[in-house]
Amino acid sequence: MAVRKFKPTTPGQRHKIIGTFHEITARVPEKSLVYGKKSSGGRNNEGKMTMRYIGGGHRKMIRLVDFKRNKDGVPAVVKTIEYDPNRSARIALLFYADGEKRYIIAPNGLQVGSTLMSGVEAAPEIGNALPLQNIPVGTVIHNIELRPGQGAALVRSAGNFAQLTSREGKYCVIKLPSGEVRQILSTCKATIGSVGNSDHGLEKSGKAGRTRWFGRRPRNRGVVMNPVDHPMGGGEGRASGGHPRSRKGLYAKGLKTRAPKKQSSKYIIERRKK
């Protein structure tokens, strides 16, 4: 994965940096695994705007991605690597030996023609999904389940990876991309390797219009509003004092919002870095 820069022929091209898409092998998705995505524009069932800064954007199709990887013991061949407009990572189309087709998140280094497997018997190789208890300590992983059979919930975006650091009884200790170290049941599944498209973080839109294509409308800051519109609005000139607050007056940037008696806190060994 690499990125492209452009000659500054226009102000938008001057700062534009996008991916090369060289790893993508198919332009049209598998028809049996897609359906239309309805855009809300940030409105609820009464037509009232309940989420600001949403609207417009290109039409999208939802790709049904298999996060459970529950087809154990059946080998699958990677047919294509495809673009998915709904996520930062690329997706891979698998053809299973029994004829079924499924999409998965494409890990770094996955090639078309590779054979993948999931289950207890699977080898700890890139793209294979197996329980944490069968993965060697120190292995780089992604697509991690929090509950057995629930489906992957952690480490799914482009370039991310976690590491299996140790085992403690029926739990495995995982270091997550945020820096958090937590315990996860050994029977939960994870996929070997890191998520592909690792240069996604280097991309730049180059112009406001490209952000609109993604369905994001302009977002204006609270300090430039009037006092009637925002707690941080008003003042003479470019005044912006006081603690950052949300539109409803709640503290932002620094206030702890995690419930102190949250049930899952006992599994967290070390909190994420601020």
- Do 230 and 32 form a contact (C-beta atoms < 8 A)? no
The yes-or-no verdict on residue 60 having pLDDT over 70 is yes
pLDDT tens digit sequence for 170-211: 999 999 999 999 999 999 999 999 999 999 999 999 999 999
Output the pLDDT for position 2.
86
Output the pLDDT for position 1.
58
Local structure of residue 225 (DSSP, 8 states): S
Output the pLDDT for position 203.
94
Mean pLDDT over the full length of the chain? 94
In whole angstroms, give the CA distance from residue 155 to residue 259. 23
pLDDT tens digit sequence for 235-255: 998 888 788 999 999 999 888
Q: What percent of the chain has pLDDT over 90?
A: 92
Identify the structural domains of the chain with CATH numbers, from first to last. 3-201 (2.40.50.140), 222-274 (4.10.950.10)
Query: In the predicted model, what is the mean pLDDT of residues 101-123?
Result: 95
- Do 135 and 186 form a contact (C-beta atoms < 8 A)? no
Query: In the predicted model, what is the mean pLDDT of residues 70-83?
Result: 96
